[in-house]
Structure 1
Amino acid sequence: MKNRIEPALAGLLGIKTRARLKPISHLEMKNEKWISTGNDPSFLVTGRYFPGWNKIKWESESKSVIPLKMYWDQGNGFSESESLTFSSIPKGFVKREVTVYIPPGTQNLRIDPGEDEAEFMFTNVQLKKTTRIKMVLGFAWKIIHQKGLTNQVTLQLLKKGFQTLRTSGLKATWSKFKAYTGHHAIGSTGSYESWIANQALTSIDIKRIKDEIERMAYKPLISIIVPVYNVEEKWLRLCIDSVLNQLYPNWELCIADDASDKPHIKKVLNEYAQKDSRIKVVFRDKNGHISESSNSALDVATGEYIGLLDHDDELTINALYENAKLLNQHPEADIVYSDEDKISEEGVRHSPYFKPDWSPDLLLSQMYTCHFSIYRKSLIDQVGGFRKGYEGSQDYDLVLRVSELTEKIYHIPKILYHWRTIAESTAFQGSSKSYTHISGMKALEDALSRRKVNGWVEGVEGIPNLYRVNYKLEKEPFVSIVIPNKNLADVLDKCLDSIFNKTTYSNYEVLVVDNGSDTLDTFEVYKKWVEAQPNRFRYCEYDIPFNYSKINNFGVKQTRGELILLLNNDVEVITPNWLTEMASQALRPEIGAVGACLYYPDNTIQHAGVVLGIGGVAGHSHKHFRASENGYFSRLKMISNYTAVTAACLMIKKEIYQEVGGLEENLQVAFNDVDFCLKVYKEGYRNIWLPQVQLYHYESKSRGYEDTPEKQRRFKSEMDFMREKWAYILDNDPYYNPNLSRVKEDFSII
């Protein structure tokens, strides 16, 4: 490849080059379509192209998803070590554009369209050199557009970007942008395009699925409910076709047209009803909005289960099969939900939501189960179907009511639903004052009333359809704060000062367990606070070789509180009502450990819940994210369930602490809090993390780092202990998702 124009200049100019695809194996042209005739079809890319970041654009048409893999030859020929699945040819006709990186020194490029025999169109392929700054601005605009960011947040994002660009250069700006958005360049490891291509069903997969369906002992009828109103014809057809294309055949499609006045609606629906007897259509005489329309569809449904599908969205070809498969394994299931993504008008999939297993407190913060969900019809009938007055959040209201009748709720960790992002869709809306947000709040308030919970609901500022449920304390239970300490007088004094001078809660004590301090200033700090807070502060001595678990267990035995708060000596309170917030959660009968949001001194996240499996045992969710960031689908702003939280600030009922035997004393330093939370979880309690309770954590000031051979040996032995005891759940965190990274702490895709 020889170019007279420098790549950087080509990028600034945005030079386009039309790539010519030369078939080199197992490909032939017939009727203007390519036919792959073997298991290794490939094109050689000829013509001019530039190294670095490029946008590759094409038009395609196919009856199945075909992964696209790129190989680059840097002088040693093509090899698997120098290749990457960068995108795919989706079903149907689409125009697609993705970003790829062509390494410097590339002499030849090759594109392989899948490994199966197939017929497809792949034409008008263009390569357009781009630059990092163009990518930053382009992706920033997409994030703003897709996430519905407010003008204030947008201006802050742009201002910080230009500040970083001015002070640190383009490379640092690009890195910070990727960290902020969770973006992975298309074609790079972890990109969603690559994930889609790697997950695409092959012809062998489809045959296997069909054979498995034939052998299923239980084939429940699933009724898909679709309320329709004045949707564009192309979206309606794609929606219905996605049901017709299901591999699982035992379904019925119940469509209720809500008195649409666009003439194509009736024509299209009648056409499909005549095409397939499994399609039932109800034409309503009067527009009643989505709840009443959905109920009209429910009236003609005869299935054992009800699935919900919006009139402009699509199911994946295996959606009903995956649900039927789970129902054969768990026929008792009453609710089943799966993961979802969004799909643009151009057919480009984006914004995948990989969800946790059943998380009741997360549901009280966000309608996270959403698509694709199926419900046992008898339970929907029992609650009276959809309720008028909750339009926009009628499915949120439904799952809140139905989930009160059952605990048999299952999650399929697979993308089974594509939520279309068009102007009319709620997937596109971003206003916190929208009717969907108001309806969601009303549904939650009703849920609290039904459940006889003394509390109230508020929105989370700046984030639509996100809520915070508050629980009112009838009285202040006595809280015992246990703090291990050795020396570090200034650190401890700062911690105690923040507790006593910021805390608005009144009914508490602080017990410092001294672990062999030998400096005079430490005891002067003890004396100072005994005199200043004689009814609240005391200390006791426990001079043993450092063992965090033993020290805390000893301290808890000396306490008088109904609630125990384990607290590190190197924290500083930020939130004045922190004890009120934590106590109101800890008193709930179903709740075990309650964790807080801990920041490093630079206002980045130190702790926002624990994710199991990271690094072999556990890691901290969203570590090093900025305090202003929302996190993965706003997880940093919502009360949510985690399997474990850190003992640097952990509240729990004393009776539960004693019930599980306290902290494991074989774990002297590391993972004792993870082990403790897993014991609590095993006893049937839910652990919870609170974003609104915030403290600074000057991590490792007390113990330092694992930087000596002795400490490293001890750390390894504690890892081995955890792996031996908890291996299954460490590898299958119920509050995480198997499609997300166990290496990074940022919820990135594997």
Structure 2
Amino acid sequence: MKAKVSVVILNWNGKHFLEKFLPTLIENTNIPNTEIVVADNGSTDGSYDTLEAFKSVKKIYLDNNYGFTGGYNRALSQIDSEYYVLLNSDIETPKGWLEPMIEFMDANPTIAACAPKLLDYNRKEYFEYAGAAGGFIDLFGYPFCRGRILSAIEKDYGQYDTPLQIFWASGACMMIRSEIFKKVGGFDEDFFAHMEEIDLCWRLQNQGYKVFSVPQSYVYHVGGGTLPNNNPFKLYLNYRNNLWMLHKNLSVRALWIIIPIRIALDILSAFVYLFAGRITFFKSVFKAHSQYFSNISKLNSKRKAAKSSTYAKRYRGLILIDFFILKRKVYSKINIY
């Protein structure tokens, strides 16, 4: 029988996370017509033997590491269900974590995707950096969250427990209608990893769909399980993919205004890294810019396919000014709309 919901973990060398969190996921996802699938992205750490011990879990074995984007695209193409739930391997799922999202999506057929509240596994009373209670981006593409402004992470007092339309749902845990995921072309595989979920959510909105936070559902995220925050390659991907995302989804008029300013801000941040003695980070920013300019033609083609529209509502301010100058370090101090 076709599953209604497929909870899909993309694993790459995450054996220790599978051993830690998969038993709890199985126990707390005992819902009719729901299946758990683990797609292994060419792991070399013995994940195969660990997965084979979980008989109730469906497995997909990929022959290489295709990154977050390529791995999920290949795995989801082999899964037939109404809803996909993308779930990182480093997430703890409490009892009742999934039901509120299913009920919300069933009741709102025009909403394409939603996300639970992401809390910090190591500090469970705090939001988690990767998604908190829903994501946004500002005028120049800087992401922030309801519950996390740049590096300032809020304690969860229930202040953001109302479902809300957001700009992006975290790829760490996201529910999306399979039909719409396929309709917009899935993830952009050139991104490999990082910013790909923001790009996807932007394209969803360009097609007139909405993305919501459903904080009645919540999970606990370890974070940094694949690439730690101090990794130069991760920094490179974030800078490169942010420019790619902007180029693909902005209108022509906005493109000519925003991209030069964003590049100037990136260069400024590169020199901050340089003066702090972080040479590899300094080089990563300029490597990202080189990759952006060398792919302009390809990005122009993708931008036409994305069909930029007025549906996607970015925050019209600049989060850097809010944070560093106006000292607005909590979401409630920012006037999003």
Q: Which residue of 1 aligns with 2:81?
A: 561
> Residue 637 of structure 1: SS of its match in structure 2?
coil
Q: Which residue of 2 aligns with 1:627?
A: 156
Q: Which residue of 1 aligns with 2:141?
A: 616
After TM superposition, the score normalised by the length of structure 1 is 0.33
1:643-662 equivalence runs, <5 A? 643-662=167-186
How far the C-alpha of 1:494 sits from its partner, in A, is 2.4
Q: CA separation of 1:738/1:486 partners in 2, compared to 1, >3 Å: closer, same or farther? A: closer
Q: Which residue of 1 aligns with 2:300?
A: none
1:528 counterpart = 2:53:
yes
Deviations 1:689-741 (A, max 9, x none): 01110100011112223522x44333322121012123469989965654674
1:139-538 equivalence runs, <5 A? 478-520=4-46, 522-530=47-55, 533=56, 537-538=57-58
How far the C-alpha of 1:482 sits from its partner, in A, is 1.5
* Cα distance in structure 2, aligned partners of 1:527 and 1:642: 38
* Cα distance in structure 2, aligned partners of 1:733 and 1:608: 21
> Residue 687 of structure 1: SS of its match in structure 2?
strand
CA RMSD of aligned residues (A): 2.7
Query: For this pair of structures, how many residues does the alignment match?
Result: 262
1:664 counterpart = 2:188:
yes
* Cα distance in structure 2, aligned partners of 1:582 and 1:666: 29
* Cα distance in structure 2, aligned partners of 1:599 and 1:572: 10
The answer to whether the 8 A contact 2:26-2:36 is kept is: no
Higher RCO, Cα 8 Å, sep 6+: 2
Q: CA separation of 1:538/1:714 partners in 2, compared to 1, >3 Å: closer, same or farther? A: same
How far the C-alpha of 1:568 sits from its partner, in A, is 0.7
Deviations 1:49-89 (A, max 9, x none): xxxxxxxxxxxxxxxxxxxxxxxxxxxxxxxxxxxxxxxxx
1:577 counterpart = 2:161:
no
- Greater shift in the superposed pair: 504-513 or 609-618: 609-618
How far the C-alpha of 1:566 sits from its partner, in A, is 0.9
Structure 2: segments with no counterpart, 5+ residues: 259-309, 324-328
1:692 counterpart = 2:212:
no
The answer to whether the 8 A contact 2:167-2:312 is kept is: yes
* Cα distance in structure 2, aligned partners of 1:672 and 1:739: 23
After TM superposition, the score normalised by the length of structure 2 is 0.70
1:707 counterpart = 2:231:
yes
Bigger Cα Rg: 1
The answer to whether the 8 A contact 1:482-1:566 is kept is: yes
* Cα distance in structure 2, aligned partners of 1:680 and 1:667: 17
Name the amino acid aligned to 1:584: E
Name the amino acid aligned to 1:725: K
How far the C-alpha of 1:626 sits from its partner, in A, is 1.1
The answer to whether the 8 A contact 1:484-1:569 is kept is: yes
How far the C-alpha of 1:596 sits from its partner, in A, is 0.7
Deviations 1:134-181 (A, max 9, x none): xxxxxxxxxxxxxxxxxxxxxxxxxxxxxxxxxxxxxxxxxxxxxxxx
Name the amino acid aligned to 2:112: G
* Cα distance in structure 1, aligned partners of 2:318 and 2:42: 43
**Which of residues 605, 622, 626 in structure 1 aligns to 2:127?**
605
The answer to whether the 8 A contact 1:505-1:577 is kept is: no
Normalized per residue, the structure richer in strand is 1
Normalized per residue, the structure richer in helix is 2
The answer to whether the 8 A contact 1:598-1:695 is kept is: yes
1:726 counterpart = 2:252:
no
* Cα distance in structure 1, aligned partners of 2:177 and 2:219: 21
The answer to whether the 8 A contact 1:486-1:516 is kept is: yes
* Cα distance in structure 1, aligned partners of 2:313 and 2:90: 28
- Percent identity of paired positions between Structure 1 and Structure 2: 23
Name the amino acid aligned to 1:497: P
Q: Which residue of 1 aligns with 2:115?
A: 595
Q: CA separation of 1:615/1:567 partners in 2, compared to 1, >3 Å: closer, same or farther? A: farther
* Cα distance in structure 2, aligned partners of 1:506 and 1:498: 17
- Greater shift in the superposed pair: 564-573 or 698-707: 698-707
Q: CA separation of 1:600/1:659 partners in 2, compared to 1, >3 Å: closer, same or farther? A: same
